[in-house]
Structure 1
């Protein structure tokens, strides 16, 4: 095999290793392909160009690979792919209802026995104890049972 083919094997092997370490860490396949190309280039260098040239190719490849790993594992480069942001969002806890008993609202849909009620600016799915409440009627929260807001129509 001529020296140009061996040089291209080494060049592409180093390029794949650089892509694995610096740009897309954790994919493994790209790194294995790069390592395979690098090993093939060194092996062909020993076989076709002699042991002195093979030693030079091996040493040079080790130095460049070590430099790539060093550059890829620097904290600045790791921070680009590591999760560094903290999520401070919260989930609404149904054990602490935001519509306490006694709150009044207006039925947006007919409650048969379930439907939608508007409490100030908040729309909530509610249920009655079985009675029918027409749309537009004023309702009051009786209780919170498990995940359900139980209401009754306000007469008056």
Structure 2
């Protein structure tokens, strides 16, 4: 093999390792491909260019990979890809419903048998036992079943 092929193998190997460490950490496929290209380039360098050039390529690749790992693992670079925000969102828990049985509300849409209702300025999806209720009618909560609010016309 000629020196240009070996140089391109080393260059692309280093680029793939740099992409793995700095830009897309955690994918491992890109890093494995880069490492394979580096190993092939160094092995071909030893075979075709001789031992001294093989040592130079091995040492140069090791230094560049060391620098890439150092730059990629600095806290300032890790904070760009690490999850640092806290999710403080809540989910309405069925065990603590905010609409108690017996609460009176008003339908915003027609209930056929499901639709939207307003309870104390809070919109909720509700269902009836099968009857249709027109929009704007008063309704009363019968009970909460699993994740549904069961209502009837008041």
Short-chain TM bin:
0.7 to 0.9
| 31 and 100 in structure 1: CA distance in 2 versus 1, 3 angstrom threshold | same
Structure 1 gaps of 5+ residues are: none
| 97 and 60 in structure 1: CA distance in 2 versus 1, 3 angstrom threshold | same
Q: 1:32-62: CA deviations, max 9, x gaps?
A: 1211111121112112222111111111111
TM-score normalised per structure 2: 0.79
In structure 1, C-alpha distance between the alignment counterparts of 2:149 and 2:37, rounded to whole Å: 66
Specify the alignment match of 1:125 in structure 2: 126
Structure 2 gaps of 5+ residues are: none
Structure with bigger gyration radius = 1
| 50 and 120 in structure 1: CA distance in 2 versus 1, 3 angstrom threshold | same
| 103 and 7 in structure 1: CA distance in 2 versus 1, 3 angstrom threshold | same
RMSD after superposition: 2.6
Specify the alignment match of 2:8 in structure 1: 8
1:51 equivalent in alignment to 2:69: no
Report the Cα offset of residue 100 of structure 1.
Answer: 2.6
Report the Cα offset of residue 139 of structure 1.
Answer: 3.0
Specify the alignment match of 1:22 in structure 2: 22
Aligned residues: 150
TM-score normalised per structure 1: 0.78
Report the Cα offset of residue 2 of structure 1.
Answer: 2.0
What SS does the corresponding residue of 1:96 show, helix, strand or coil? coil
| 123 and 12 in structure 1: CA distance in 2 versus 1, 3 angstrom threshold | closer
